[in-house]
Chain A
């Protein structure tokens, strides 16, 4: 499970892309495409390879006026699943 001090990184070959034909954000990865809903797009867009997961959830909490703990709980599952598929790396 990703912790507040961990720094999530989208590794080379994984990028966020606007799919203009289907009018949705997607995550492009080696030979795979993941459709992103608004919440997933919001958290992945914050990943810059420098800020920690804690800092990211704080920023999202402020922007969307929602509890940081709730955002952390919701996005940890997504990031964990992406990590298992090697679409995300974590620097601790």
Chain B
């Protein structure tokens, strides 16, 4: 099998974040603050990524603005020739800092939305005043003229706000919105009862997105991640394992996807020890689920196997206990029926029982 170079790299600069969303995509075991890669190492990784074939760099976290050297990192990424996208909650960005990022060559901003009003957004984000601050940041982004994508993360508690989220994207001048239904890994998995959409909500969201794509054609591009527990076919996760993108965690571990550490038998290389290209082409974790050789039935003989690559390995691990199993979302999985029943049950759970994400640990105190 010939392996092609990756197009995109997600750089999780830090796991620190002022917010503590209960569906955070960071792992339960957060990278310690003193383990984060320094400016020079990140800059080297950006150059290695560009040499490898990466075109799109997503600067993420945690909250990337929690890194004091964010502007330097953006400059280094642009010098490496990468298209540079900042994925942020907005918290930690001032007008002055945004202007510095502009001067450093930042190409695009993706701003997250936890809710369409302060009551919802601040409750979900676990950060009082966060919504008002975010709206202020959105205003500065518009004044400076950064291209903007709004990323609305939706679940049972805020799916009714989808129409307003679409309006807000248009009002802010966003060219694009990601309508992302929560995917259940890590922190979100702990909150399935509180966040699982109902089947009716999932269908309603499908309808709203289909209509809005027509009505807003040429104004707003809508990327949609549906509620997959209520779907019949799985998502083509990461565009196919080890085909399109890679993640670098704050401590330098290189992951095929942000949840890959939930697969316990995988081992991950670190950019401190090995060149990025070698990790991509030869790393054990990247080769574990590349292509189709690893598949068992019903995937192996399925006509869709090159379309969705059997779905999400981390979801197979989390739900079925076997990362090489067919994603249980798939109608062909023997676990599909049980998953749909489970989803209905989760969707009747309590909305109050939210577990917010924890904060990364600081450096250990020196022994006395």
Distance, CA A42 to CA B217, complexed state (A): 26
- Known pairs A12-B145, A28-B83; A33 contacts B218 (CB<8 A): no
A83 touches B55 (CB 8 A): no
Closest chain-A Cβ to B79's Cβ sits at a distance in Å of 14
Distance, CA A15 to CA B51, complexed state (A): 19
- Known pairs A13-B107, A13-B147, A84-B217; A33 contacts B53 (CB<8 A): no
A19 beta carbon closer than 8 Å to chain B: yes
* Size of the chain A interface, CB-CB below 8 angstroms: 19
Among A13, A21, A28, A85, contact of B52 (Cβ-Cβ < 8 Å): A21
Distance, CA A17 to CA B54, complexed state (A): 12
B147 touches A22 (CB 8 A): no
1/0 per residue A1-27: CB within 8 Å of B? 000000000011111010101100010
B85 touches A30 (CB 8 A): yes
A-B contact count (CB 8 A): 57
A22 touches B53 (CB 8 A): yes
A62 beta carbon closer than 8 Å to chain B: no
Among B5, B56, B219, contact of A33 (Cβ-Cβ < 8 Å): B56
* Size of the chain B interface, CB-CB below 8 angstroms: 25
Contacting residues, chain B, for A13 (C-beta < 8 A) = 107-108, 146-147
Contacting residues, chain A, for B83 (C-beta < 8 A) = 15, 17, 28, 33
Among B5, B107, B221, contact of A86 (Cβ-Cβ < 8 Å): B221
B55 touches A33 (CB 8 A): yes
Contacting residues, chain A, for B221 (C-beta < 8 A) = 85-86
A31 beta carbon closer than 8 Å to chain B: yes
B237 beta carbon closer than 8 Å to chain A: no
Among A12, A21, A26, A30, contact of B5 (Cβ-Cβ < 8 Å): A21
Contacting residues, chain A, for B56 (C-beta < 8 A) = 28, 31-33
Closest chain-A Cβ to B48's Cβ sits at a distance in Å of 12
B175 touches A28 (CB 8 A): no
A28 touches B55 (CB 8 A): yes
Distance, CA A14 to CA B145, complexed state (A): 13
1/0 per residue B87-116: CB within 8 Å of A? 000000000000000000001101000000
B55 touches A86 (CB 8 A): no
Distance, CA A28 to CA B220, complexed state (A): 18
Q: Which 4 A-B pairs have the closest CB atoms?
A: A13-B147, A21-B53, A86-B175, A30-B108
Given contacts A84-B217, A86-B176, 15 further A-B contacts (CB under 8 A): A11-B147, A13-B146, A13-B147, A14-B147, A21-B52, A22-B5, A28-B55, A30-B107, A30-B149, A30-B175, A30-B176, A31-B176, A32-B56, A85-B221, A86-B218
Q: Which residues of B pack against A, CB within 8 Å? A: 5, 7, 51-53, 55-56, 58, 81, 83, 85, 107-108, 110, 145-147, 149, 175-176, 217-221
6 contacts between A and B (CB under 8 A): A12-B146, A21-B51, A21-B53, A22-B5, A30-B149, A83-B218
